[in-house]
Amino acid sequence: MRRTSLREHLAESIRSGIIERHLPPGTPLPSVRKLARERSVSTFTAAAVYELLVAAGIAEARRGAGYFVAGVRARRRPRMRDLPGDSLWERRGEVEGQPILVDAGCGWLPREWLPQKALTAALRERGRASERAGYGNPYGSDLLRRQLTNTLRGRGLEVAEEQVMTTQGASQGLDLVIRECLAPGDLAVVEDPTYPPLLDLLRARGVKLAAVARTAVGPDLEQLTKLLRRRRAKALFTNTVLHNPTGTTTTLPVAHRLVELADRYDFTIVEDDIFAELAPREEPCLTALDECRRLILVSSFSKTIAADLRVGYVAAAAPLIRRLARAKAVSALASSEMVEELVLHVLVHGHYRRHLDSLRRRLADAQMKVQDLLLSHGVELAYRPAAGMFLWARLPSPDPAGKVWRTAAEQGVLLAPGELFRPDGRASDHWRFNVGHCDSPRLATFLAGLAAAAVSGRAA
């Protein structure tokens, strides 16, 4: 289990005391100096404890007066279908008046797992650079695109710089591709389950959706073939390596068959390749089998460098890249050269390969620990990936997903319900777990309670 830091331990102790003693909003809390004396810690640590409590919505700071128990604002209980994409389980400080301490289903890695020192060095270097004025290039930084071209060639995808364009994360890449390649009423095939924001983007475009099941080796080819015989599809969207949310990877035979089907039935394949660098070994790049004729590659550095930098890219045929760049210029004018320079600095000077090796080992270790944790509490795993961020699992509870989600939130655990990953939005008994955030005693306590309730229910 991840060791809890001293300040986290103290913050949890104070939070528990507030709840147990039913302290009303506005109750003054000890000063920083008094807390430091009472808990035998430094004033720096005591101040950091209060910062955690303020961030969690437990305490509020009043300038010149100190810290007080925060008031709980009345808020409408969120319904799962009201919230797009990852926003349901995005950390917001409190849910129903309770702080979220374990973001079990989120879509990002812990900040401490990412190359913070390399980013700090990149920021310093950028700060020393001469100031620039004006907008950047819609295609993106020339130097970063050159670096991306070399990286893709190393994976077997022979592309020229004119075939690569940077984006504000993979989501903007998907949005641009959907707007340029699909018209309202076109049919797009997606995997079930799949990435929730993709579904939102397709629906916003007025695209019709058809789903094929995601299997242990990729999209279900039998389902897909039957679908293509009956209906004219314009595009297939697939997340190939360490799939979100199942953790599975498309095998080479399935990849070859997908390219054959695209040629036979005349449709485009959009490959979401965002997790490829987290794989312990090089996995087949679907787009490399086609050399960007019918395939489009979308990826980003959100999972390996920093999500909030919003740097991604698209690789495709040069004429399509020109169309995408025009569409990008209309909606966003240009890329941010500053953040793209930061990413480039990390790639070139930040020991990026060494960082990836460390990150892969960390994820492999987390996969083992979290799988053991879930299995020991009666959770059923759909697959047993050895790498990557995600697990797709069924909880040991007969209760509806909404009730399970609320129960977890009340205990400080935020879950990711399977219905958000379903193209039709139907209820699901599966949940997404992010192994980077699940090695937690609090999650174990919640799961133990679910397992005990399930046993009790069966006994009754």
In-domain check, residue 395: no
In-domain check, residue 318: yes
- Work out the angle at residue 70's Cα, subtended by the Cα atoms of residues 67 and 73, and round it to the nearest 5 degrees: 155
Among the three residues 72, 88, 110, which one is the final residue of a domain in this structure? 72
Beta pairing class for 390-394 and 66-69:
unpaired
End-to-end CA distance of the chain: 34
Among the three residues 57, 72, 87, which one is the final residue of a domain in this structure? 72
For tokens 């060095």, the residue is 121
Contact 342, 115 (CB under 8 A): no
Backbone angles phi, psi at 130, to 5 degrees: -65, 150
Q: 271 forms bridges with which residues in the sheet?
A: 238, 297
The answer to whether residues 165 and 285 belong to one domain is yes
Alpha carbons 199 and 196: distance in angstroms, whole number:
5
The answer to whether residues 189 and 314 belong to one domain is yes
Q: How many CB atoms lie within 10 A of CB 83?
A: 14
Q: Sign of the C-alpha dihedral, residues 30, 33, 37, 43?
A: positive
For tokens 């010149």, the residue is 64
Q: Which alpha helices (DSSP H) does 129-272 contain, by range?
A: 142-154, 169-181, 196-204, 221-230, 252-265
The answer to whether residues 211 and 303 belong to one domain is yes
The answer to whether residues 274 and 342 belong to one domain is yes
Chain-centre distance of CA 162, in angstroms? 29
Distances (CA, A) of 433 to 270, 442, 447: 25, 14, 13
For tokens 């991840």, the residue is 2
The predicted pLDDT at position 51 comes to 80
Among the three residues 317, 332, 349, which one is the final residue of a domain in this structure? 349
The predicted pLDDT at position 384 comes to 97
The answer to whether residues 203 and 329 belong to one domain is yes
In-domain check, residue 380: no
The predicted pLDDT at position 142 comes to 93
Full-model pTM: 0.78
Domain span holding position 45 = 1-72
The answer to whether residues 140 and 57 belong to one domain is no
Q: How many CA atoms lie within 13 A of 443 on its CB side?
A: 27
In-domain check, residue 420: no
In-domain check, residue 140: yes
The answer to whether residues 159 and 53 belong to one domain is no
In-domain check, residue 79: no
Domains identified in the chain, total number: 2
Closest alpha carbon to 295 in 285, 305, 304? 285
Alpha carbons 400 and 403: distance in angstroms, whole number:
5
Which one-letter amino acid corresponds to residue 234? K
The predicted pLDDT at position 193 comes to 96
The answer to whether residues 149 and 47 belong to one domain is no
The answer to whether residues 161 and 243 belong to one domain is yes
Tokens, residue 246: 């199942």
Contact 144, 342 (CB under 8 A): no
In-domain check, residue 447: no
Question: For the chain, how many residues are written?
Answer: 460
The predicted pLDDT at position 398 comes to 87
Contact 223, 211 (CB under 8 A): no
Closest alpha carbon to 341 in 136, 99, 39? 136
Contact 115, 123 (CB under 8 A): no
In-domain check, residue 308: yes
Q: What is the dihedral of CA 319, 323, 325, 327, to 10 degrees?
A: -170
| CATH number of the domain bearing residue 9 | 1.10.10.10
The answer to whether residues 138 and 275 belong to one domain is yes
Tokens, residue 11: 């913050």
The answer to whether residues 186 and 325 belong to one domain is yes
| CATH number of the domain bearing residue 160 | 3.40.640.10
Q: Residues of the chain whose pLDDT is less than 50?
A: 1-2, 72-85, 87-94, 459-460
The answer to whether residues 63 and 150 belong to one domain is no
